[in-house]
Amino acid sequence: MINKKRFIDTAELLVKVNYGKTLAKATPPEKYYAISRAILEQLIENWSGTTEAYSLGKEAYYLSAEFLMGRAFSNNLINLGIYNDIQDYLKEINIDINAIEEAEADAALGNGGLGRLAACFLDSCATLNFPVTGYGIYYNYGIFKQTFSDGFQIEEADTWLKDGNPWGIRKEGESVVVEFSDQRVRAVPYDLPIVGYETKNINTLRLWQAEALEDFNYTLFNDQKYHEAVAEKNRAEDISRVLYPNDSTEEGKILRLKQQYFFVSASLKDIVKKYKRTKGDDFSQFHLNTAIQLNDTHPVVAIPELLRILMEEDLSFKVAWGICQKTFAYTNHTILAEALEQWDCGLFERILPRIYSTIKLIDKELLKDLSSMGYPSEKIKDMQIISNNRIRMAFLAIYGNHTTNGVAALHTEILKNQELSNWYNLYPERFQNKTNGITPRRWLALSNRELTQFIISLMGDSNWLKDLERLKSLETLKNHEDILDAFMEIKEDKKRQLSEYILQEEGIGIDTNFIFDIQIKRLHEYKRQLLNAFHILDLYYRIKENPKMDLAPRAFIFGAKAAPGYFRAKGIIKFINEIAGLINNDPEVQDKLRVVFVQNYRVTYAEKLFPAADVSEQISTAGKEASGTGNMKFMLNGTPTLGTPDGANVEIVEEAGEDNNFIFGARVEELDEIKDTYDPIYFYENVQGLKRVVDSLIDGTFDDGGTGMFLELYNSLLKGASWHSPDHYFILKDFDDYRRAQMDIDKDFRNKRGWAKKCWINLCNAGKFSSDRTIREYARDIWNIREVTI
C-alpha cells in the first residue's frame, strides 16, 4: 500500500528539485517523472529485500538483446494493485492520470516478438516469485521511430530518454570494464524494477550503457583538436546507441559484434562478482547456483566468455567446459538461415582475439567428441562450429549448453527432425519444447480493462490473472445470450476507442461497423503481409466489377516496421500504402473497404489494436513462424485466428477448435514435398484474379517513385533471385485458399450470435498461452530454481 501523504510530498519535492516548479505548474512529462519517481521511492525497500533474498539460493539470468517493455507507469500500478488509489490521489490535486500515462514514452529496448516475449517472461518471473534477473543493453535510441512520406518508410531517432527515465536507477559503483582488441569501455548498469502482480517481490532488469573510460581529452581540446577530444567518448557510446544498427557494411557488422560482446561480458562479470560475494571462490559449484538462459543467438558469445573467465580462475579447460555446459540453456526462435547467426572468422578474431581463441578450443573439443563416437569426417564437417571461415553461433550454443528449446510444438519438431537434426540425434536429451506465452496482466488487465472487469464479475475474483487456465470454466456460458451480448458490447467499445485513436494519429476514419481485420507484427517476407495486400487489391477489383457485391464491410489494418536495410520489406510497405491510397480515395468503395497502415507500431499502439480486432491475421508460410505471440494476444481478447497451420496457431486451434478459427494454406509436409518442383507460374496464370494483382506491381497501377522496389518484388515472385527460388514463401500457391478463408469469415461474421460464440470460446481457451505457464516450465525443466517469497 502506498502512503498517500508521503507519495504526494515526495512528488512535490521532486518536481521542485528537478524543475523548480510546483506540481500544479509542471508540464505533463515533468509530472510523469516526479510521480513515477515518488512511487519508485516507496518500492525500494521491497526491491532491495528481493535482491537479498534471491542471493541466498540458486538464481537464473535471462540474457537478451531485446526487452520490448512498453510503458511502465500503468502496468506497475496495476501489478501493485494501486491504480485506483493513485488515480484518486491525483484527482485530489487536480491531475488527470490519463495525461500522466500519455506523457510516458515507450521504452525503446526491443523490436519484435523476441523482445516482447522477454518482457512477458520477466513479468511472470516476478509475479511467480522466481529469482530471475534480466540482462540487456540500455539503448539510447532503440530501433527507430517510423513515419511515412509518400508511402515510404522513414526512420527517425526514437528519443525515448529525452525526458529521462524515472524507473531506471544508475548504479555507477557497479560498473565494469569491457575490452575489445582496439578499445576498452565502461559498462554502467541501469536497474529497472520488474513489479510482479500481487506480490511484494520486485525483480530486476539490469541494462548496460557503454561509456568511455575518458570522456574528454583536455590536451587535444587545448590543441584545438575539438573532434578528436571527444572521439573516444562518441566511439564508446555508439555501442549502446541504437538497437540492431544497420550491418550492411563491415563497420556495421563490427558495431553489432561489439554490442553483443559488450552486454554479455558485462553481465557475466556482474554474475561472477555476485557469485564471489555470496557463494565464495569455489567455482566447481557455479552451475549449482547459476542458470543462464540465452534468448536466441545474439548472446551466445557468453559461452566462450564464461569459459575464458573460469579458466582465468584456475580451472582446467575440461572442468570449466563442463561447468559451462551445465550452466547455459539456449532458446531457438527461428529456422530461417539468415537468423541462425554466423560470424566471419577474420572479423571476429580481429575484434575479439581472446574469444576467438577460446572458440577454437571449443571446436577442437567438439571434433574430439565426435571422432570418439565414430562420426565420419563429412558428418563432423557438417557439425563443426568453425566452418568455411565462419563461426556458427547456433552450433556453439547447442554444444555449450544442457538444454535447447523451441518455442512451439511444431517449431520444436522441425528443429529436431530437419534444421538441427544432426544435433538432436547427438543430444536428444537436450531438446525440449517450451511454447511461448504472454502476460495476461499487460495484455488483458491493462489493455482491456473493460473485459477484465467483466470477467471478474463472472469469476467473483481476480485470481485468474495468475491462473489463466481458470478461464476455461467460462466456456459453459457460451450459449448465454446476455453474456455474449455484454461481451460483444465491450468489443464494440474497444473498436470505437481504436477508431478514435487512429483518426487522431493517422487522420483516417474507420466505421466501427466494419470488420476490423488486423495484421500487426514485424515486416518480413515470411510473415506474408504481401499475401494480405494481394487479397485486398483483388477484393477491391471484384467490388469495382460488381458494385452490388454482397460483402460485410472490411477495414484492413497493418502495423509493422521494416529493418532499415531490408529493401524488399520496405517495398511491401510502400505497396500497401499505395493500395490504401487507391481504396481510401475511391468514393465508390467507401462503404465497403478501408485500409490503414499505422505509423510507428509499438507496444502502446498494440495495447489498443489487440482488444479491438475482429480478425487476427497469422498468415506466415507454414513452418517459418517459430511460434508467434501476437496470435495469443488476439486470442486472449476474444479474436478468432485467420492463419496457416504454423507456429502456435496449431496449438491455438487445438485449444479452441478449428470451427472457431479459420485455417488455410499448405502444411509443412506438403511444402517439403513440392519445394524442389514448385512452379508459381501455374498459379499466376490459372488462379482467377491473381495475375491482375501481381501485375499491378509493374503495369503502372502504382508508383514506387523510381526505386525499382515493385519490379524487384514482382521478380522475387516469378523469377526468384540468386539466393532463393521463385515465390520462396508460397504466396501465389496459398492465395486462393486464403481468399476462400476470407469469404468464410465474411459469411460467419454476419451471424452475430455465432460470431460472438467463436470469440467467446477463443477467450475461454487462451489459458495455456499465459507466460506464467511457460515460466513455470522453464523453472522446473531447465533452470531448476524455486520460488522465493519475501
Position of cell 567455482? 283
Residue type at position 444: L
Per residue in 375-395, pLDDT (tens digit) is 999 999 999 999 999 999 999
pLDDT higher than 70, residue 341: yes
Q: Is 372 exposed, middle or buried (0-12, 13-18, 19+ CB in 10 A)?
A: exposed
Residue 780 has pLDDT above 70, yes or no: yes
Half-sphere exposure of 330 (CA within 13 A, CB side): 27
- Give the pLDDT confidence of 10-48 residue by residue, as tens digits: 999 999 999 999 999 999 999 999 999 999 999 999 999
Query: Rounded to an integer, what distance in angstroms lies between the CA atom of residue 247 and that of residue 342?
Result: 13
What is the C-alpha to C-alpha distance for residues 95 and 260, in angstroms, rounded to an integer?
43
Distance CA 608, CA 502 (A): 10
pLDDT band at 133 (very low <50, low <70, confident <90, very high): very high
Sign of CA pseudo-dihedral 67, 73, 77, 78: negative
pLDDT band at 624 (very low <50, low <70, confident <90, very high): very high
Task: For residues 601 and 595, give the distance between their C-alpha atoms in angstroms, rounded to a whole number.
Answer: 15
The conformation of residue 184, written as its DSSP 8-state character, comes to: E
| pLDDT per residue as tens digits for the range 283-322 | 999 999 999 999 999 999 999 999 999 999 999 999 999 9
Taking residues 559-573, report their average pLDDT: 96
Per-residue pLDDT band at 219 (split at 50, 70, 90): confident
Q: For residue 557, give the amino acid letter.
A: I
Question: Residue 219: phi, psi to the nearest 5?
Answer: -60, -45
- What DSSP state is assigned to residue 373? T
CA 405, CA 379: separation in Å to the nearest integer? 23
Q: What are phi and psi of 447, to 5 degrees?
A: -85, -20
As a whole number of angstroms, the distance between CA 732 and CA 726 comes to 10
At 467, the pLDDT band (50, 70, 90 cuts) reads: very high
**Residues in the chain, how many?**
790
- The residues carrying an active-site annotation are 333, 521-522, 527, 629, 633
pLDDT given for residue 147 in this prediction: 98
Asked whether residue 142 carries a pLDDT value surpassing 90, the answer given is: no
Q: What's CA 588's distance to the chain center, in Å?
A: 39
List the one residue out of 189, 356, 201 whose CA is nearest residue 274. 189
Q: Is the pTM of this model over 0.95?
A: yes
So what's the pLDDT on residue 96?
Answer: 95
Kindly list the domain boundaries of the chain, sorted by start residue: 43-70+106-436+776-783, 469-769
Give the mean model confidence (pLDDT) for residues 150-156. Answer: 97
User: Using 50, 70 and 90 to split pLDDT, how confident is the model at 226?
Assistant: confident
Cell of 45: 525497500
- CA 144 → CA 56, 522, 751, distances in Å? 40, 13, 42
Q: Would you identify the CATH topology of the domain 43-70+106-436+776-783?
A: Rossmann fold (3.40.50)
Q: What is the CATH number of domain 469-769?
A: 3.40.50.2000
pLDDT tens profile 471-521? 999 999 999 999 999 999 999 999 999 999 999 999 999 999 999 999 999
What's the chain's average pLDDT? 96
* pLDDT tens by residue, 711-735: 999 999 999 999 999 999 999 999 9
pLDDT in tens, 642-670: 999 999 999 999 999 999 999 999 999 99
- What is the rounded average pLDDT of the residues 159-163? 94
| Cell 496449438 belongs to residue | 651
pLDDT on residue 304: 98
- Distance between CA 252 and CA 248 in Å, rounded? 6
Q: Are strands 390-392 and 615-618 parallel, antiparallel or unpaired?
A: unpaired
184, 352, 340: which is closest to 254 by C-alpha? 352
pLDDT at 338: 67
3-state secondary structure at position 463: helix
What is the structure's pLDDT at 158? 94
Q: How many Å apart are CA 374 and CA 355, to the nearest integer?
A: 29
For the segment 607-612, the average pLDDT, to the nearest whole number, is: 98
Distance CA 495, CA 121 (A): 28
Cβ proximity of 529 and 558 under 8 Å:
yes
413-439 tens-digit pLDDT: 999 999 899 999 999 999 999 999 999
Q: Which residues of 435-461 are buried (b: 16+ CB within 10 A; e: fewer)?
A: bbbbbbbbbbbbbbeebbebbeeeeee
State yes or no: pLDDT of 228 exceeds 90: no
